Structure 1
Amino acid sequence: MHYPENDLVVHSIESFGTHDGPGIRLVIFLQGCKLKCQYCHNPDTIATHGGKVYNVDALVEKAIKMKPYFGETGGVTVSGGEPLLQAKALIPLFRRLKAEGIHTNIDTNGRILNHFTDELTEMADLVMLDIKHVREEGFQEITGEKNKDLSLEYAARREASGKPLWLRYVLIPEITGQPELLHELGQHFKEYRSIEKIELQPYHKLGIHKWEALGWEYPIPHARENTPEEIGEAVNILREYFKEVHVN
């Protein structure tokens, strides 16, 4: 799909979001993603067709109307899908939001590296980076794509900017939750100074009905949810490497 330059193709918009960055947030879910993660709980955002076109002006107006609710920590989060696919149009949006004193956040898998994504990432007040898997084989199995190192390079570029970075990691027993994988994750990022926290998302099956509605077969029907003990062990491991570990 060819995305318009001054408009954004939006899947949906959530007002008063509280799980997509600090404080109360206006969350803009963009349409389109190049990955097809096995556990995706919003598979209807994957297709690069569909969605509703919003002009940047309209989105800025929505944010300004919500500004009294943001307080000192809230703001606008752009999620997806994958927001970096529309980085060129997000640059003027973030520039306008910055001029209005509104906090900006990108929720991304970090796999698109070009001068537009570099400019957008440098501009964002916060980046939340979703780490799919720390090993190439596991990354390919989960996402259907190669080269996990693109996401790691994106993290390195954000680290170089010196601006805040949060990591996100979906914890799936026998797939991403093994202790050795968690230690590898921590070892890779242990020297990063920009990482304020890592958010763990325990696996759930709440998105399966969306796969069924699309006529798609759910790829990991036998995956199970984490036990409290497994979540506790993961938190204890990651606390060796990160300042804050938060379970969503």
Structure 2
Amino acid sequence: MSIQGNIHSVESFGTLDGPGLRYVVFLQGCSLRCRYCHNPDTWNMKGGTLQSVDEVVDDILSYKNFIKNGGVTLSGGEPLRQPAFSLELINRLKQAGIHTALDTAGSVPLEISRPVLDAVDMVLLDIKSLDDKLCFSLTGMGNANTLATLSYLQNINKRVWLRHVLVPSWTLEEKKLEDLASFLSSFSCIEQVELLPYHRMGQYKWEQLHLAYSLSDVKEPTREELTMARSIFEKQGLSVLMTSYKEEQSRNKAG
């Protein structure tokens, strides 16, 4: 019998989580407590629906003709919190000739995550902040594991799409962005940087879960702020993708 995992939800025709049309599997469990998280219902490891790799693969294969120019992305939550399930699912999909991607914050230590990083075709890595103290304030954890993950991905020459959330008064500051862009420019594994404008579209979930949402007074970035952020990364020779509010809303899964 194949390994079982806790699945939050799936998106059968995703267009935002890797190249091409993709089947996205959202796994339960996350160690981070990001202040702007739009899916706090994925934090609990025991939430969602218990499914085997066989069950997930069978459903994915029913969409194979639709995702043949895309693939499958494991997201969450944090899929590396379920490393055995993620690894078996990736290996099974690769055997079926399906491209695989991992959407992760890299918060899991390398001794746990390394086999999954080795196996997957590409990684969508979310760096919350280059400033360790700011990262801790935003997420409840520092950035050491994330930066170690990026260094390892560089060493094994893995395809990386880098993600960064632009939060006014937190990460959306010129000096912080300049430092991050300069740092990232030395990593040849990074194919593009996706800048994600902060939004409050998931705030209602915090209220449903009786959690205090601490960023309710933070306004969404202005067009001028987003233009400034894009130019900083482009000046470092990085390819930049700026996700719009409407596109980002599709990530906000109904609980």
TM range (shorter): over 0.9
Shift of 1:13: 0.8
Alignment deviations for residues 88-110 of structure 1 (CA, whole Å, 9 cap, x no partner): 12111111100111010100010
Moved over 3 A (4+): none
Alpha-carbon deviations, 1:18-48, whole Å to 9, x = none?
A: 1111111111101110011000001111122
RMSD (Å) for aligned C-alpha atoms: 1.4
| Structure 1 residue matching 2:65: 3-state secondary structure | helix
One-letter code aligned to 1:106: L
SS of residue paired to 2:196: strand
Q: Show the counterpart of 1:70.
A: 67
Alignment correspondent of 1:87: 83
Determine if contact 1:198/1:242 at 8 Å carries over to the other structure.
Answer: no
Unaligned 5+ segments in structure 1 are none
Match of 1:240? 235
Identity %: 39
1:84 shift after superposition: 0.5
Partner of 1:218: 213
Matched residue SS, 1:26: strand
Aligned 8 A contact 1:186 1:242 in 2: no
Match of 2:134 among 138, 146, 149: 138
Q: Aligned to 1:220, what secondary structure does the other structure show?
A: coil
**Gap runs ≥5 in structure 2:** 244-255
Match of 2:187 in 1: 192
Q: Distance in 2 between matches of 1:41 and 1:175?
A: 17
The alpha-carbon deviation at position 150 of structure 1 amounts to: 1.2
Aligned-residue offset at 1:241: 2.3
Scaled by the length of structure 2, the TM-score of the pair is 0.92
Instruction: Give 2:58's aligned residue.
Output: 61
Number of corresponding residues? 243
* Residue matched to 1:175: 170
What is the Cα deviation at residue 134 of structure 1? Answer: 1.1
Q: Distance in 2 between matches of 1:88 and 1:117?
A: 10
| Map of 2:8 onto structure 1 | 11
**1:39 equivalent in alignment to 2:36:** yes
